[in-house]
Structures are given as C-alpha cells and as structure tokens.
C-alpha cells in the first residue's frame, strides 16, 4: 500500500566504475489512488494548480537513515507544492513463507506496517506521522502511536489495521510494488517515471519535480534558479568494453543537470593530445570545468577530484591503458608485430591464461579486514592440503610516480612489500604464512618486528634488507601486474586453476571451490570450518 501525498536509491547506486556513489540501505509503498491505497499528505499542502500532477515515487525502509533523510528533505517541497504532486511512498522488503521481512528486521517491518496503515486510514496526515517518526527513527515502531495521536489521526483504526491481517496484506502489496520497480536499496526514487539520481536537497528535488510536469507547471517553478552549467569532458576509448562511457554520461547528467557533457575518443587527435598533455595513464577519465565547484552536488565529488591545469580531474577509477595490447581482438594494437597473447602486455590477461590444476591464488590488500580474514582462513586450508596444491598471494595496488598507491595508504604499501619479502625468502612449506598470520593480529600496527626474530624462524634483518632496498619494491612492482592484468579490484578475490574466479572468507568455502575444479583431489572430503553466523547472513565483504 502506499503513503501517497496528493497535496503534498537502493539507491545505493554505484555510479559506474567511479566513486560517485549515492548512499543507501541495500537489500514500499503502493501508489495511493484508490480506497485500498490512499496516500498521506501534510496538512500544509495547497490545492492543485496544474492540469496534471508530477508523479514522485519513493521506495524506502522505515528505519534506513538514508530513506529518512530524503523523506525529511522533500518535506518542505511537499509543504509548498504538494497539491501539484502525486507523491507516494512504498516499502522495500521480502516474504519468507508467511512472514514479512526487512533489512532492519522485525521492528522495521512493524514500522512499515504502521505507516502503510496510516496511509489508508489517514491519507491527509500520514506523511506528517512519518516525519514525526523520523525524528527518532531508531525507536520505530514504538513511536508511531504517539505520532499518530499528536497529529490527530484515527489511532484505533490504524491499530486495528496494524495488529491484523490487513496491515500484512497492505505491506506485502507494497513490497510487490517495490520489487516491480526493481527497488532493492533505500531510498530508490522515481520522478516523472524516471529513476532519480540527483541531489537530495529541497532545491534539487524542487527543480527535478518542476521538470516532471507533463503539461503546465506551478508558479513556484518560475522562481527556481537554473542549475549551474559547467563542461565535462569524458576521455575514453571506443575499444574499451568496460569503460561504459554512455552510462557515465547518463549518470553525470542525472547527478548534475547543468553538466554539458562531451565525449572524446582517445583515438582522435584531440583525445591523444588531451591524454598526453594531462600525463594520463588510464581511461576513462573525467575532466571537469572548474565551475563544477559551484554546482549543488559538488560536495559528493570533491574528494575525488584533483586540480590539473584548467580542469578538475577524476581519474582514479579508470583502468584501461590505451597504449597497451588488447588481448582478445586479434589485432596488433601496439604495432610491434605481436598480436594478443603473443604480446608481453597480455602476460597476465585471463584470455591468455591456461588451466593449471591444483593452483589457488588469493588477491588481497594487506590491511583490508576482509583480506585479513581470507588469509587467516588459509592456515586451515594449507593444513588440510599440505603440499598437494600450489598457493599464491597477489596484492592489489598500483604504481604511481616513483612509488605505489594502495587503498589503505602508504602503511598498506609497506606491509604489502614486507609480506612479499617474506614470501620470497621463506617459501618452503609456506613458512611465510607465520609472519602474515602474526601481522594479521595487529595489521595496522607499524611495529612489524615482533613477528620476526626470536624463535619465529624469520630473520628480521632479511625482511628489513629486502624491504628497504630495491628488492622489495621490484617484488611489488612485478606482483601487482597480475591483479592489473586480470582487472581484479576487490580484496579478497580468489582464482582456482588460473581461470575460475570465486569469493569466500572461511576455510570450508575456500576448500569447496578449489575442490570443485579439481575432482578427486585428496582431502576434499574433510570438513573444515564454515562461515560464522555473520557471514551466513551476508556479512562477508570486500575492500574495493
């Protein structure tokens, strides 16, 4: 059912391939237009002034802080022009057997139900009740009755719906509507029938709604200043399959209505000049005119931009090197007489890898908590298979200038190098794992020496010499090319037999995936430690 405002993402949208993510609660309402789905409206809403209303749909979870924020943000818009808006709120959840479920568990299910029942029995005040509940959303559902009473809503009717089968039926119908809209994150928003990814302020909502009126517009729309205009150049390469330039353009125009987007291909004279002049190394890259700093959503992008000449540049997410061989297009892209896998650029590309039985690779960032869990799990896996398999650790980082860049900063770069030094000098029977497992107990500590020396069997001076000199840096420089060649960006990521990618944080999952591709391998019948309770509930993860 819906909380509709006659008068009156997830969006956990990953803005493809780069860090313009809009936050949301990942994993309600029905349109209010008939007697079974009547929507709520703030009492301050005016009468309609247009011939056809603008449609605004919110799909949320009542206890999701991000859903709460957008409801609160649109409230003043509803108060000013709600009579001209067809506003509805539906809920995101699921059904297991005869039980309704939601991300924030039973309290959220009940909170959703209270709001959906209010929408039916108090359509003119339901949204006011929602806003009241939002003031202390962690107390949901226990605060609905007080909010309903304060707003003069029919508490007895809402309670009968809430306590009975009707509330369940209404909420299930709301879940179905959210599912039909493919809303899996709170908030997911549609304005004028189109997925909305723009700003979450009063001004941004007002501007977007004003653009959604099918015919005439309310008077307030004439007073909304136009969005700040600024140029955006997306430098990409038509040969890059993962660059998704069209999607990036679409997301940019949605996020910044004033963005004047131009796509430039690297293969053109203009593209190559830009690439050279800006001293770029990977594509795609976004070059923003400096007026982006005046745009309403600039704060969401600010930390990712780097001043470069006349531009502010967002380049961290680009991974395609246009000067390298493309490994599966049957062309000599570098004009060196070598095609695809014959070119050294393709040494680590998946297209050029061959099946290698009983090989297990783990790609990690040394200070990623999920990578640490995966490495810790390997002790049991190694004990199970002994020397009957081949295990490799590869690190996820990148070369930058004369040094390296890692997600968790220079301390992670340093630890990557030390662990590679241990791997290089203590490979027999996976002795290097003693150092890694010891470090994992306090992976953020700069004091690594207690994991060497004494009775550890790992000499402090050996690791120190390797780390301090060129040896360690060269080890990392060579090692990170493996992850780059496979385009691995998440820690942890596993590969079995050189070709088969999988995920897992516990010994049993790792063992099962290795055995899946190596039928008849010894000790595959042994039961290892499985995922803990949190992992079984989807509490795994990755650093990306």
Mean pLDDT over each residue of the chain, to the nearest integer: 89
Q: 41: pLDDT confidence band, cut at 50, 70 and 90?
A: very low
Please compute Rg for the chain using Cα positions.
28
Predicted pLDDT at 199: 80
Listed in order, the ranges of the chain carrying CATH 3.40.30.10 are 3-223, 354-536
The mean pLDDT of 128-157, rounded to a whole number, is 96
H or E segment at 535? helix 533-536
Does the pLDDT at position 98 exceed 50? yes
The mean pLDDT of 168-194, rounded to a whole number, is 95
Q: 46: pLDDT confidence band, cut at 50, 70 and 90?
A: low
Torsion sign (Cα): 168, 172, 178, 179: positive
Domain 354-536 listed as CATH 3.40.1390.20: no
- CATH number, span 230-314: 3.40.30
Sorted by sequence, the CB contacts under 8 Å of residue 353 that are 6+ apart come out as: 498, 499
Does the pLDDT at position 4 exceed 90? no
Predicted pLDDT at 301: 86
Nearest Cα to 523, choosing from 357, 382, 429? Answer: 382
Predicted pLDDT at 43: 43
Residue that is written with structure tokens 């000449």 in the block: 309
Predicted pLDDT at 534: 55
pLDDT over 90 for what percent of the chain?
Answer: 77
Does the pLDDT at position 40 exceed 80? no
Sorted by sequence, the CB contacts under 8 Å of residue 88 that are 6+ apart come out as: 2, 3, 4, 5, 29, 30, 31, 32, 39, 56, 57, 58
Predicted pLDDT at 27: 62
Is residue 73 left, alpha or beta, with left meaning phi > 0 and alpha meaning psi from -120 to 50? alpha
Predicted pLDDT at 318: 82
Q: What is the pTM (predicted TM-score) of this model?
A: 0.66
Predicted pLDDT at 23: 54
Nearest Cα to 144, choosing from 170, 104, 121, 115? Answer: 115
Q: Which tokens is 348 given?
A: 């680590």
Decide if 431 contacts 400 (C-beta within 8 A).
Answer: no
Predicted pLDDT at 396: 97
Predicted pLDDT at 9: 30
Does the pLDDT at position 434 exceed 60? yes
Domain 3-223 listed as CATH 3.40.30.10: yes
The mean pLDDT of 136-152, rounded to a whole number, is 96
pLDDT digits (tens, 9 = 90+) for 351-379: 999 999 999 999 999 999 999 999 999 99
Predicted pLDDT at 389: 97
Task: Give the integer Cα–Cα distance in Å for 153 and 124.
Answer: 9
Q: Which tokens is 220 given?
A: 């307030």
The mean pLDDT of 36-41, rounded to a whole number, is 34
pLDDT digits (tens, 9 = 90+) for 516-539: 999 999 999 999 999 876 554 444
Task: Give the integer Cα–Cα distance in Å for 436 and 372.
Answer: 9
How much of the chain is helix, strand and coil, in % rounded to 5? 40, 15, 40
Does the pLDDT at position 7 exceed 90? no
Comparing 22 with 33, which gets the higher pLDDT?
Answer: 22
Task: Give the integer Cα–Cα distance in Å for 292 and 299.
Answer: 10
Does the pLDDT at position 13 exceed 50? no
pLDDT digits (tens, 9 = 90+) for 395-422: 999 998 889 999 999 999 999 999 999 9
């Amino acid at each position: 059912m819906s909380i509709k405002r006659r008068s009156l993402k997830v969006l956990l949208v990953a803005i493809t391939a780069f860090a313009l993510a809009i936050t949301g609660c990942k994993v309600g309402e029905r349109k209010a237009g008939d007697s079974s789905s009547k929507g709520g409206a703030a009492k301050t809403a005016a009468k309609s002034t247009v011939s056809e209303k603008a449609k605004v749909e919110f799909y949320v979870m009542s206890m999701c802080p991000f859903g709460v924020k957008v409801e609160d943000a649109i409230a003043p818009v509803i108060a000013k022009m709600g009579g001209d808006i067809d506003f509805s709120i539906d809920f995101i959840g699921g059904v297991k057997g005869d039980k309704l479920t939601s991300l924030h568990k039973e309290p959220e299910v009940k909170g959703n139900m209270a709001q959906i029942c209010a929408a039916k029995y108090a359509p003119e005040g339901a949204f006011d009740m929602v806003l009241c509940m939002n003031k202390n959303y962690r107390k949901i559902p226990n605060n609905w009755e007080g909010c309903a009473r304060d707003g003069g809503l029919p508490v007895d009717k809402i309670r009968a719906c809430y306590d009975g089968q009707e509330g369940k039926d209404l909420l299930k119908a709301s879940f179905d509507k959210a599912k039909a809209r493919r809303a899996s994150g709170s908030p997911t928003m549609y304005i004028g029938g189109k997925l909305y990814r723009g700003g979450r302020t009063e001004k941004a909502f007002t501007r977007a709604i004003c653009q959604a009126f099918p015919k005439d517009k309310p008077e307030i729309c004439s007073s909304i200043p136009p969005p700040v205009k600024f140029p955006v150049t997306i430098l990409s390469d038509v040969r890059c399959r993962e660059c998704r330039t069209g999607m990036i353009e679409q997301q940019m125009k949605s996020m910044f209505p004033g963005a004047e987007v131009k796509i430039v291909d690297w293969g053109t004279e203009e593209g190559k000049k830009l690439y050279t002049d800006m001293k770029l190394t990977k594509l795609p890259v976004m070059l923003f005119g400096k007026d982006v700093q005046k745009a309403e959503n600039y704060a969401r992008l600010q930390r990712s931009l780097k001043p470069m000449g006349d531009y502010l540049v967002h380049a961290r997410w680009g991974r395609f090197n246009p000067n390298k061989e493309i490994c599966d297009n049957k062309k000599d892209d570098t004009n060196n007489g070598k095609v695809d896998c014959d070119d050294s650029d393709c040494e680590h590309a998946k297209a050029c890898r061959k099946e290698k039985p009983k090989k297990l690779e783990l790609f990690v960032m040394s200070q990623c908590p999920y990578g640490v869990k995966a490495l810790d799990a390997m002790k049991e896996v190694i004990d199970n298979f002994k020397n009957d398999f081949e295990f490799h650790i590869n690190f996820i980082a990148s070369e930058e200038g004369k040094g390296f860049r890692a997600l968790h900063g220079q301390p992670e770069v340093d630890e990557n190098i030390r662990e590679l030094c241990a791997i290089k000098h203590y490979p027999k029977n996976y002795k290097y794992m003693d150092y890694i497992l010891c470090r994992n107990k306090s992976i953020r500590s700069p004091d690594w020496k207690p994991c060497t020396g004494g009775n550890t069997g790992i000499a402090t001076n050996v690791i120190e010499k390797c780390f301090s000199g060129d040896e360690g840096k060269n080890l990392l420089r060579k090692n990170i090319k493996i992850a780059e060649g496979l385009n691995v960006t998440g820690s942890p990521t596993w590969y079995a037999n050189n070709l088969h990618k999988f995920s897992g944080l516990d010994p049993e999952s790792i063992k099962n995936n290795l055995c899946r591709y190596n039928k008849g391998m010894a000790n595959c019948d042994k039961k290892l430690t499985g995922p803990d309770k949190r992992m079984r509930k989807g509490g795994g993860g990755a650093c990306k």
